[in-house]
Structure 1
Amino acid sequence: MLRFVAGRDDLLNSRFALSPIVELESLLRKLYFRRGQLPAEWSARVRPAFERLRAETPLDAVLALQGAGYGPAFVVQPPSSMTQTIDDDLAALRATPLAQARHEIEECLGHRPATDERVLAILRDRAVTSILADAMAAAWQELVAPDWPALRAVLERDVVHRGGLLSSGGWSAAFAGLHKRLRWHDGVIELQRDLGGEYDLGGAGMLLVPSVYVWPKIAAYTEPPWPKTLVYPARGTGALWEPGAGTPPDALASLLGRTRARLLVALSDPASTTQLAQSLSLAPGAVGDHLAVLRNAGLVTRARSGRSVLYRRTPLGDALAGGAGG
């Protein structure tokens, strides 16, 4: 059992953030270990590039540090904000002190020793952080960058959903349903996992990072100097991976038109025009026009949230989408 003890200041300082490099590492783990669920169409699309990257770049040095329940945190550092970019992630990796990198490399190799001399030469190189950053940069461009707008839309919608729970019911509500192995009670966050221990958040709070590719698992950062972090599966991952998910039945499509019906079904959680356009592969202008029709019909409403305008279904919209199986 893994336990995080939280005080009042921890509740004030806990926050959400997004991480492009977490998505990349989680995908690499799925492709490398061939475990976990990855849609066949996605796997067929990215696996040839993955194998080519292994042959042409130092990617195997990154993969050699991966294992069940552990990995190199200096390669995949916790993000700092909701606006984190892959350039931010790679810059942090390159700036890692050599002593920290070597410490984590030795820990990872202690779990699963590497035998490939090419890999070992890279991991012993004084420029190891730059070499691994170059490998991750190449992997990002090939494997994740084309899908990042859609992935980011899913992650942002998850945070909007969790933020709504937080404002209405506090952190206990925000943690509810985060993962089946996670629970919050009496100021303690408990995660059922083989590697246990108890950690006091010490007023710094918990960093919560939604992820598509980590699904269906959950990951945690516990060791210094990294902030205590939970990487949890984002809501809506199944709909993203299954093209048929969220497709309205013919009756609803006949009533509203197929695109408007898709939008209504997709609004199971509040979303912006941009997020809907990215997740449904539609033009933002067309989405805006269809949302205006749905709003005039009393099926959706809109409200500003920070810099975004979020649309959500009305009770009538819920009834139509729910009755249609949405």
Structure 2
Amino acid sequence: MIRLGLNDHQLSTLRFTVSPLMHVIHAVLWIQQRPHQPPAWLPRRWSQVSPRSRALLLDLIDPATHSVPDFLIPLTDQYRPSAEAELAAVAATPLDDLRAHLRLTYQLGPVDERFAGHMGVVPAVAAKWRKAPSKLVAGAWGGQSGPLLAAAEQALREAWQVLLAPTWPVIRSVTETDVMHRLQLVKSAGMSSAALELVDGEEWDGRAAQLDSPLEVDLTRLRHRIVLAPSVLLDGGRSLVVSGDELLVGYPCRARALVIGPHATGVASQESAAEGLGTRHRLIAALEVPQPGHSLAARLGLSKATVSYHLGRLHSSGLVERRRLGREVYYARTPAADRLTTPPRDARPTPS
């Protein structure tokens, strides 16, 4: 259980981020913990990652150690950091930070008593969760961090390109829709209500939220700024990353079944024309959650101009509504369109 304080300072600095590398880390954890569960596309792509990169990532991202080195998920000031920006931050990790993060996962130096306390165990038990360091890790601990950081950056880059880059337009659309939902809560009910909605019905005692997690961590006294990061590859629990004076809390985002469900393809490609659906019907069907036009175009394999034209016609017909969030316009189905996507059993969809 994670006890997360939501004091005035933390609420005033609360922000969101949509992190590509966090999803890479969660993808590797998913492969190790749920290899036979959807999404089916994930293990297929994993087999295409080079053996050298797979070996390094499996060593660094090992759920048995109860700790993933935090330098693998660097925090930036951007809401939508690029994979390139995050990879550059990994390669530039300061030696002291790297050693502190490696110490929690590997048998390097004495056990961090704060880590043991956060895990709810005595240091001797926490020590059993650490494992022997590889040659690369031992070299980094000894001060030669360059080879490990270069290898980690390359392995993460390859995993990103093979595992998630083809699916990122859909993942980004789903995660940003989750953020939009929470920002609407901020606007209508205030920051505290938006933060509490993140708890999803878990315990709240008026001073702190109790987040379901295998970790036993009390963060109520920390003065960290809080960064919230929606993830489609977290089914439950939370992931924590501490970077300087910021605390990142990864959480399962809404509508993630669009990416990890049993029928998810994991690609943003054109759907089969054999389904007999017209372009506008396909757009309505794709709007399970609000999305910007460019995400729909990538997902359906259509040009942005084509999507823009048909969304305009659907808006004029009262089948979609649109709302601006920052620089982007999000489209959503109206109740009338919802009825089109759930016809009676004996009815057939009508092409537009």
* TM-score category of the 2 structures, normalised to the smaller one: 0.7 to 0.9
Aligned partner of 1:87 in structure 2 is: 84
Partners of 2:21 and 2:65 lie apart in 1 by: 18
Q: Residues 192 and 303 from structure 1, CA distance in 2 versus in 1: closer, same or farther, beyond 3 angstroms?
A: closer
Aligned partner of 1:239 in structure 2 is: 258
What's the offset of the Cα at 1:10? 2.0
8 Å CA contact 1:13, 1:203 repeated in 2: no
Aligned partner of 1:11 in structure 2 is: 11
Aligned partner of 1:250 in structure 2 is: none
1:168 aligns with 2:188: yes
Partners of 1:283 and 1:184 lie apart in 2 by: 46
8 Å CA contact 2:27, 2:42 repeated in 1: no
8 Å CA contact 1:179, 1:232 repeated in 2: no
Partners of 2:252 and 2:245 lie apart in 1 by: 20
Please give the per-residue CA displacement for 1:21-52, whole angstroms capped at 9, x wherever unaligned. Answer: 10111112222445584422332233232546
Q: Residues 173 and 321 from structure 1, CA distance in 2 versus in 1: closer, same or farther, beyond 3 angstroms?
A: farther
Partners of 2:66 and 2:278 lie apart in 1 by: 43
Q: Residues 69 and 280 from structure 1, CA distance in 2 versus in 1: closer, same or farther, beyond 3 angstroms?
A: farther
1:74 aligns with 2:71: yes
Partners of 2:314 and 2:17 lie apart in 1 by: 31
What's the offset of the Cα at 1:107? 1.4
One-letter amino acid of the structure 1 residue matched with residue 130 of structure 2: R
Partners of 1:118 and 1:101 lie apart in 2 by: 12
- Aligned residue pairs, count: 313
Residues 178-257 of structure 1 mapped to structure 2, 5 A cutoff? 178=198, 182-200=202-220, 204-221=224-241, 223=242, 225=244, 227-242=246-261, 244=263, 257=277
Length-normalised TM-score, structure 1: 0.81
Aligned partner of 2:296 in structure 1 is: 276
One-letter amino acid of the structure 2 residue matched with residue 277 of structure 1: A
What's the offset of the Cα at 1:207? 0.8
Farther off after superposition, 279-288 or 116-125: 116-125
Partners of 1:52 and 1:3 lie apart in 2 by: 38
| Identical positions, percent | 29
Please give the per-residue CA displacement for 1:100-156, whole angstroms capped at 9, x wherever unaligned. Answer: 211221211142313655665566543233332232223222322232222222222
What's the offset of the Cα at 1:185? 4.8
Partners of 1:119 and 1:11 lie apart in 2 by: 37
Length-normalised TM-score, structure 2: 0.76
Q: Residues 195 and 215 from structure 1, CA distance in 2 versus in 1: closer, same or farther, beyond 3 angstroms?
A: closer
Residues 30-41 of structure 1 mapped to structure 2, 5 A cutoff? 30-34=30-34, 37-41=37-41
Partners of 1:236 and 1:50 lie apart in 2 by: 31
Aligned-residue Cα RMSD (Å) equals: 3.2
Q: SS in structure 2 opposite 1:231? A: strand
Residues 53-132 of structure 1 mapped to structure 2, 5 A cutoff? 53-54=53-54, 58-63=56-61, 66-67=63-64, 69-110=66-107, 111-114=129-132, 117=135, 120-121=138-139, 124=142, 125-127=144-146, 128-132=148-152
Q: Residues 193 and 236 from structure 1, CA distance in 2 versus in 1: closer, same or farther, beyond 3 angstroms?
A: closer
Partners of 1:178 and 1:37 lie apart in 2 by: 25
Q: SS in structure 2 opposite 1:156? A: helix
Q: Which runs of 5+ in 1 are unaligned?
A: 247-252
Partners of 1:206 and 1:182 lie apart in 2 by: 19
One-letter amino acid of the structure 2 residue matched with residue 113 of structure 1: K
One-letter amino acid of the structure 2 residue matched with residue 7 of structure 1: N
Partners of 2:105 and 2:181 lie apart in 1 by: 35
Partners of 1:322 and 1:193 lie apart in 2 by: 36
Partners of 2:306 and 2:221 lie apart in 1 by: 46
Q: Residues 183 and 312 from structure 1, CA distance in 2 versus in 1: closer, same or farther, beyond 3 angstroms?
A: farther
Please give the per-residue CA displacement for 1:280-324, whole angstroms capped at 9, x wherever unaligned. Answer: 443322222221221121111223222112222334334444667
Residues 115-154 of structure 1 mapped to structure 2, 5 A cutoff? 117=135, 120-121=138-139, 124=142, 125-127=144-146, 128-154=148-174
1:262 corresponds, among 275, 282, 289, to 282
Aligned partner of 2:114 in structure 1 is: none
What's the offset of the Cα at 1:203? 5.8
One-letter amino acid of the structure 2 residue matched with residue 308 of structure 1: E
Aligned partner of 2:348 in structure 1 is: none
8 Å CA contact 2:45, 2:162 repeated in 1: no
Q: Residues 138 and 40 from structure 1, CA distance in 2 versus in 1: closer, same or farther, beyond 3 angstroms?
A: closer
One-letter amino acid of the structure 2 residue matched with residue 27 of structure 1: A
